Amino acid sequence: MQQHLEGSLLEEIRGKACVLQVLENEELGLIGRVSGSQEALFVQKDSFMQSELLAHVGACVLVEGQNALVVGGFDLEMAFELFKHDLQVDFVQEEYRILEALAPFFAHFQETRDHPHFKHYSQILDLEVKKYDLIISLSPLNAHQIDGLQRMLSMQGILICASYHPLLKQQNFKNALEALAPFFAVIMPFFNPYSLTPAYFLFASKHFHPEADMILQKIDMLEDLRHYNAMLHQAAFAQPNWFYPTYKGLLKN
């Protein structure tokens, strides 16, 4: 897959602690590769897939929700998807220059920034004191970060975070599961089917189960979706036979 995610370099943007390379690929259009303190890969042809899946996997399980927080990444389109659930979205990202340069990857970039339910902060420390019903981290979290974010969740809150690959980095994956265990009743890994940039995520909840508590009525009422649906929601949590004995005792499902 990696060879298909190459292209001719159009521009390179340097931020505070990150570098963005924008490439042009004949088949896929623009490719954005972020390196440095935060890492991300965006493909113009499929960037909506991650935005839709991560937003709705969490929000379509919540019975009621008011506040969502997105940290550790640049996917501004995710906030636009969360607006469909009438959520107030706080978005934390200090790399303003790189975020601006990624605008071509997000169909509703300016509309999201101008939305009355959207607030952009440079640092987590700048956030108002409140509880969040859904927190999405687009970067893997260490034990200290997990502890801090879970304190910001409501009593029935959900944390979704990027994860290490369970085959390529087994110990890192196990460490993440162990760090989540003291705080959450449900811990389940999932991935994004059909994505050109495959990635793993962890769904951690103090109360809700991502499949048993999936609200079909909510999903059916969503409009203008190109990727997410109820079947994809369930398929995202499917794991192979080898997975469960390998991580026995670390999953909560």
Beta strand ranges found along the chain (DSSP E): 8-14, 18-25, 29-36, 40-43, 67-71, 88-92, 118-121, 132-137, 153-163, 186-191, 200-205
Calpha distance 87→84 (Å, rounded): 7
Rounded to the nearest 10 degrees, how much is the dihedral formed by the CA atoms of 89, 95, 100, 106? -50
The residue written with tokens 């509703």 in the block is: 108
Q: Is 75 in the active site?
A: no
Catalytic one of 86, 90, 126, 147: 147
Calpha distance 214→193 (Å, rounded): 18
Contact (Cβ atoms closer than 8 angstroms) between residue 48 and residue 216: no
How many other CB atoms sit within 10 Å of the CB of residue 202? Answer: 24
Calpha distance 126→128 (Å, rounded): 7
Supply the residues annotated as catalytic. 147
